[in-house]
Amino acid sequence: MTESAQFGSKRVPLAAKQALVNDVFHSVARRYDLMNDLMSLGLHRAWKNALVTAVNPPRAAAFAVLDIAGGTGDIGFRIIEAGGAQTRVTVCDINPDMLKVGRERASTYGGDAVVTFAEANAEALPFADRSFDAATIAFGIRNVPRIERALAEAFRVLKIGGKFVCLEFSSVDVPALDRLYDFYSFNVIPTLGRVVAGDAESYRYLVESIRRFPKPQAFAAMLRAAGFGHVSFQAISGGIVTLHSGWRL
């Protein structure tokens, strides 16, 4: 029997999902950061800052971070700014168009000296066991065809005592706000995608993928199944996003 996966509101062969996701981000790469500002009304900046605070890069020690599905490098650059002179970030993403944008931005941060970009699949990371002090992924885990494999890989590349931090859209848990959020998501965001990025369909997929992502408790159970300890999660902005974390003990 052929394995299948959810792609937005429809099921597709599992092997085809990654190619479809790649097409989405190929289409929106150049306008991705601008669209994040418009879609979230600028809130994504505070959400990402919360992730960086959870990572807590030290100011006076060597610290290696892997940012999975890091695309344009937004999280990586924020970690560099928050950390000390010995903080290093490897940004990996399966989409070369997103990485190209990130490399162009990296010149203002010292280039490859502090931020390295690598084309890599989250389900099969090309890095040695126990090689990073922290691993992060922001708004990317829901696009991975086999989430459990990506979590197992994140666990594998972390050093003992390393922390995994994941920021992802979630389920709004505030009465009335949930209906407003649904209206905004399914009506305004695709329209913004059409006007700003010239691609309404890709943003319709991104909205649908949010609704399909596991609830916070279910995702926390997946983290524990992958081997992480001290798993926790925190709802932010009424549950629009959730910050998940776990440790390799």
3-state secondary structure the chain: CCCEEEECCEEEEHHHHHHHHHHHHHHHHHHHHHHHHHHHCCHHHHHHHHHHHHHCCCCCCCEEEEEECCCCCHHHHHHHHHCCCCEEEEEEECCHHHHHHHHHHHHHHCHHHCEEEEECECCECCCCCCCEEEEEEECCHHHCCCHHHHHHHHHHHEEEEEEEEEEEECCCCCCCHHHHHHHHHHHHHHHHHHHHHCCHHHHHHHHHHHHHCCCHHHHHHHHHHCCCEEEEEEEEHHHCEEEEEEECC
Q: Are 117 and 102 in contact (CB under 8 A)?
A: yes
CA proximity to 227, closest of 157, 151, 170, 146:
151
Under a CB-based contact definition with an 8 Å cutoff, are residues 149 and 155 in contact?
no
- Structural domain tally of the chain? 1
Give the structural domain span for 238.
15-247
List all residues 6 or more positions away from 25 whose beta carbon is below 8 Å from its beta carbon: 32, 71, 95, 97, 98, 202
By DSSP bridging, strand 229-236 and strand 241-247 are antiparallel
CATH number at 206 reads: 3.40.50.150
Give whole-number Cα distances, 206 to 89, 116, 194, 201, 210, in Å. Answer: 26, 27, 13, 9, 7
Q: In this structure, is residue 213 part of a structural domain?
A: yes
**Is 28 within a domain?**
yes
Flag whether 5 is in a domain: no
Residue 146 lies in a domain: yes
Residue 206 forms part of a structural domain: yes
- What local confidence, expressed as pLDDT, does residue 21 receive? 57
Q: For the segment 81-132, what is each residue's pLDDT rounded down to a tens digit?
A: 999 999 999 999 999 988 998 998 887 765 566 899 999 999 999 999 999 9
Contacts of 123 (CB under 8 A, 6+ apart): 144, 145, 146, 149, 150, 153
Look at residues 46, 83, 55, 56 and name the one whose alpha carbon lies nearest to residue 245. 55
Q: Decide if 3 is inside a domain.
A: no
8 located within any domain: no
Report, as ranges of residue numbers, the positions in the chain whose pLDDT lies below 50. 1-2, 4-9, 12
CA 150 to chain centre: 12
Q: Does residue 1 sit within a domain?
A: no
